[in-house]
Amino acid sequence: MSISRRSFLQGVGIGCSACALGAFPPGALARNPIAGINGKTTLTPSLCEMCSFRCPIQAQVVNNKTVFIQGNPSAPQQGTRICARGGSGVSLVNDPQRIVKPMKRTGPRGDGEWQVISWQQAYQEIAAKMNAIKAQHGPESVAFSSKSGSLSSHLFHLATAFGSPNTFTHASTCPAGKAIAAKVMMGGDLAMDIANTRYLVSFGHNLYEGIEVADTHELMTAQEKGAKMVSFDPRLSIFSSKADEWHAIRPGGDLAGLLAMCHVMIDEQLYDASFVERYTSGFEQLAQAVKETTPEWAAAQADVPADVIVRVTRELAACAPHAIVSPGHRATFSQEEIDMRRMIFTLNVLLGNIEREGGLYQKKTRLFTINWPEKRSRQRWRNSTLKICRNRRRNASIWSHRSLNISPLAAAWCKALLTRR
């Protein structure tokens, strides 16, 4: 009797799997916080708060308790898909140690002695302490921190009114550089039409491990359609391993590489001249600024060969406007982060890919839909900022997050628009 190496390994794998499964019956590895819950089940639309992207979700609720979370099927780019972090929101909301009321420490630090107090008492004590510190040390001695929730912008209003410039949010450790660069240069953040792009260059943006589930699936679609992916990243991330090319750029060398790409595009006249002339200002100053940032100069700064920088830039420009240099989120904690993001947006503008298929575009909200299905919520792609629902009486109601739910003018405008006959 003869047995092949493949058959032997398959048999061993099946046997090991059976032993492992037998040793760990259901529930042995982790406690199930929703076990034994029965009753009427409802599906409630919401937004995921497990990261700043806020994917549209649908929660399965039994007896007023969330038991399962999936993507909202009404979200066209995401559907019912959701990442592991989003799905684990069930454990977060049902955690027995979740803090749902203000708690005041009553014993020495570290002893774990706490008592529940009212919201009013908490506000009064915090305000009194803040004012005392302000009187003794000045307003700059107080720092304000918050997670990225739908009302997080009020944190900045409070800090400004208090007189402190010190704020720390999720953006401080993630997209602050990109957000500032986008607002200064483009008027606001831009999204990527990854599914229709033909060439994508990434500087440390790990699209297969980070947030934005819809982007991940669009990336797979683009690769299936033959789009080329190039990754400049010090480490072999999952995206780097799936990309057509991975170049282990020196940590902190991103800006040098981007400046060299900009130099090549202008020096070889690979940019969209008509787009630049019509929609931009300051091109002459840009050309002068990158005159000396040659690929050879960047090679010494970034550990990427000069010929690679030239070739990738030419290939990228050849696919324009269906080409993207990914804005990403954050690649470094150096002082160059904002300038790096500014140069990324500059390259995209030189490609002429703004509001073009396979390029970058302003996020838009769809207010009305023709042939709107009854009892079915309609959402904007991905993280909806405005959602309109219709009930059986054909009255329209809306809910939103971020700016719309704190702006009286926006709420009044929406109400007037929806009640107009």
Give the pLDDT score at 385. 37
Q: Which CATH class for the 179-358 domain?
A: alpha beta
CB atoms within 10 A of CB 263: 23
pLDDT at 200: 97
Contacts of the segment 333-340: beta carbons below 8 A, 24+ positions apart: 334/252, 336/252, 336/254, 336/255, 337/176, 337/177, 338/177, 338/180, 338/181, 339/255, 340/177, 340/203, 340/254, 340/255, 340/258
Transcribe 289-318 into DSSP letters. Answer: HTTT--HHHHHHHHS--HHHHHHHHHHHHH
Give the CA count within 13 Å in the CB-facing half-sphere of 166: 8
What's the Rg (C-alpha) of the chain?
Answer: 26
pTM (2 decimals)?
A: 0.72
For residue 179, what pLDDT is reported?
80
The pLDDT assigned to 183 comes to: 84
One digit per residue, the tens of pLDDT, for the chain of length 421 reads 455 555 655 665 655 554 544 444 444 444 555 555 666 788 999 888 887 778 889 999 998 889 999 989 888 777 888 888 888 889 988 888 888 999 999 999 999 899 999 999 999 999 999 999 999 999 999 999 887 666 777 888 999 999 999 988 777 777 777 788 788 888 888 889 999 999 999 998 888 886 777 788 889 999 999 999 999 999 999 999 999 999 999 998 999 999 999 999 999 999 999 999 999 999 999 999 999 999 999 999 999 999 999 999 999 999 999 999 998 877 776 777 888 899 999 999 999 999 999 999 887 655 444 344 443 443 333 333 334 433 333 444 444 433 444 444 444 444 544 554 4
Q: Report the distance separating Cα 282 and Cα 228, nearest Å.
A: 31
Three-state DSSP class for 328?
coil
pLDDT of residue 163: 95
Burial per residue of 317-327, b for 16 or more beta-carbon CB atoms within 10 angstroms, e otherwise: bebbbbbbbbb
- For the chain, which residues make up each domain, given as ranges? 41-92, 179-358
Position 14 scores a pLDDT of: 56
Separation CA 323–CA 241 (nearest Å): 20
Is the CATH number of domain 41-92 2.20.25.90? yes
For residue 166, which of 149, 183, 141 has the smallest C-alpha distance?
Answer: 141
d(CA 45, CA 56): 7
Tokens 């790409």 belong to 261
Measured N-to-C along each axis, helices 176-186 and 337-351 cross at an angle, to the nearest 10 degrees, of: 40
